[in-house]
């Protein structure tokens, strides 16, 4: 976590934040824990892919509309754009970061959070309470992202979205557990949330065309 916070709060760089989070925080654990997840990358059905894609497109559209009407209560468009500029979200990096956001990011995150953390917690023979692995892994997943939300969201909104993300993480864990393949969680993560984030970034670009 310290590595990612350095990228976000000290270096003020989206590129460095991604690099430190993925390749310093997560990748070593992904490599060392490969026996936990290597057999879990079973192919998802084509039908599942198209269902997720259809839901994702609809979800992204609804997210942008909701942001248009309710976003002012959670976030400042102007400050968000200023933050993006300050963190190097320039025209040169824009599409590279956007594509990276919904392709590489969900792949590494799902292998780590669901394929390693959740799976390791599920191996505990006598867990303290029911659904221990789902709840704890999802709470940790949300807590990790809370420091990102604090940068762009108003205080109460950051806490609310973190709680929502914990429920979303639990949904991804259940999806992975039910389907038996990490690809289901990776596809859902990338095509639902991360694609929606890209849609919001594009929407901000349209509102502030000369900012980046």
Per domain, the residue ranges of the chain are 59-207
Q: What is the pLDDT of residue 61?
A: 78
Q: What is the pLDDT of residue 80?
A: 81
Q: What is the pLDDT of residue 153?
A: 83
Say what the pTM is: 0.89
For residue 143, how far is the Cα from the chain centroid? 12
Q: Which of the four pLDDT bands, split at 50, 70 and 90, describes residue 106? A: very high
Q: What is the pLDDT of residues 64-94, one digit of tens each?
A: 787 777 777 788 888 788 878 878 777 777 7
Q: What is the pLDDT of residues 143-195, one digit of tens each?
A: 988 988 888 888 888 899 899 999 999 999 999 998 889 999 999 898 888 88
Q: Which of the four pLDDT bands, split at 50, 70 and 90, describes residue 2? A: low
């Amino acid at each position: 976590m310290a590595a990612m916070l350095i990228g976000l709060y000290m270096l003020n760089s989206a590129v460095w934040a991604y690099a430190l989070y993925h390749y310093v925080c997560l990748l070593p654990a992904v490599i060392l824990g490969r026996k936990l997840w290597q057999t879990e990358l079973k192919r998802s059905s084509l039908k599942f892919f198209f269902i997720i894609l259809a839901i994702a497109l609809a979800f992204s559209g609804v997210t942008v509309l909701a942001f248009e009407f309710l976003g002012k209560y959670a976030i400042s468009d102007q400050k968000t754009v200023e933050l993006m500029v300050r963190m190097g979200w320039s025209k040169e990096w824009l599409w590279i970061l956007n594509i990276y956001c919904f392709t590489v990011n969900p792949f590494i995150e799902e292998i780590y959070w669901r394929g390693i953390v959740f799976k390791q917690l599920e191996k505990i023979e006598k867990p303290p309470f029911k659904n221990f692995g789902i709840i704890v892994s999802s709470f940790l997943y949300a807590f990790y992202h809370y420091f990102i939300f604090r940068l762009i969201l108003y205080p109460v909104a950051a806490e609310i979205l973190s709680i929502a993300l914990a429920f979303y993480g639990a949904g991804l864990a259940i999806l992975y557990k039910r389907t038996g393949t990490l690809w289901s969680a990776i596809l859902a993560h990338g095509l639902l949330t991360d694609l929606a984030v890209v849609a919001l970034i594009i929407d901000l670009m349209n509102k502030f065309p000369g900012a980046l």
